[in-house]
Structure 1
């Protein structure tokens, strides 16, 4: 009998830049653009998603994405909410292109976009409200984002996308097309298959501090480089993050409200009015510049309450690890918990916690002792189980 070879041919286009529409595909059906080498799939929400893979480039070129949206026809000053796909859960804006005079605002969550709906274009957003970036164009033009601005999606269990509001500032009613050129931060596995950001919530707690008293603390397991996304304090506090211990010492006498010197090693300074949580928007990168140090950051915490109290600071970060360039200790691995490690411990896998944890293994000398003391095999088993 002859062999039959079945060939599966997905829908395709050989026209560069052409993307399938929702009506072209069924949910989970794929399509390929042979001119651009891109693969697309229809999502369960009816949208078309590009399936990204590693380009395999070895020339050091930056892997960018160019998500684009087009609004309905908008009258002057009318707005429309939009969602940019293919961004990753976090990344870096490089440039924004608009087809006409416009005001484009990017947000870390849908709730932030809703809360910001009534703000006028000449009014600055408040600190920590989820506004990542806003761009104004006077005509059809491209705006380079310099200095570059980071973004992240703070909506739980949402996809690799960023939320925006687009306002037509042109006198003519028209649809507005906005193209964002971004660098998704994906590294080795910062984002799981579902698109969930691997955000770590890390905490430090001071001793009981008198009013305006400070304490130096170290925030562990941050990796040597990463991105701040959120910070919470248990009470009114001034919290400063540094790239080195020397920078923290040199900055210790600087008064609240004064600006740190350029290149002083101050990464970020946050002042809270009480127990509150602030989104770090625009997002801020951090790095540890301490020679030979582990994946940690150096912190100064000052109590701004009128009574003595301990201050707990919780920070959400996205460690940027890539191919392990910043890993110097086991506890920097996201699936390793070295809490309580003691001399002689090994790491064993805890399936319940889905982490590698420290544990004592049976030493050869202990095994020999129990063998010698056991009266029979059953006794030996009991002795080993008790170790």
Structure 2
């Protein structure tokens, strides 16, 4: 991979490299524990591949930061943030489900990174990370299909002819729950399914984190997170069921009864923040794509709920000294005032 030291990193490139370093050091800790508990060889091979790629990402970003004389973030470490000897709290099916969902997040994140990147070596790096996320998603999906545990989106009848929307009511289905609404279209179904799946995973993660958290305030936050994820899961599932469609079910997995910490409170809080941020992004995309007013209203309402939860989480991270500050632009007013 070529490197051009005379070309400074843009703010966008610096931001996505910094964020990727944080998420990949976290991922290494998660994979360390998963590999210690996983018993399925097919899933283990995917976990090891993901682990190797995260290590490569960290090495590349570290080398760039050193060359540019940028402080390397603390991120997360195997010494402080993961405890592989803790009892198993997840089953092998969960590991596969987790990999598949995180690959989805990676594809969204890295496609955005590619679109923001200009410098050749950084662009090439994020093109590779995007391709790997796509490959990881494919491997996890194919493995899930082979094991008979993959949950597919609902099927609908193929259209017989091209139709055009004739009434404005198509776009403005009543917010009144007692009024008959038009059937969901394929676009709306796909987003409801996606958000049901992600909240299913989020609910299980929050449940496990609530059991393992050492701090009372973190346990309380995780319990609240689980309640919100379950509430959102029910809203999206009901929308599908009311349209005579099967809502996604669990991948035949659950959280075990262990309360011994597998991760530090810092890691669990940061991980929950990442998932919440991804969820808000999914909701925003779904709101823009949906054409029924009741769905759009729900998405906007739930975005606010997740944002409020995120603020509470950020407060906990800050109060405990766990939240690293991203690279900042200069405060010109302060510089002028202090001169």
- TM-score by length of structure 1 reads 0.20
| Structure of higher CA gyration radius | 1
Relative contact order, CA 8 A, sep 6+: which one is greater? 2
Structure showing the higher helix proportion among its residues = 2
Structure showing the higher strand proportion among its residues = 1
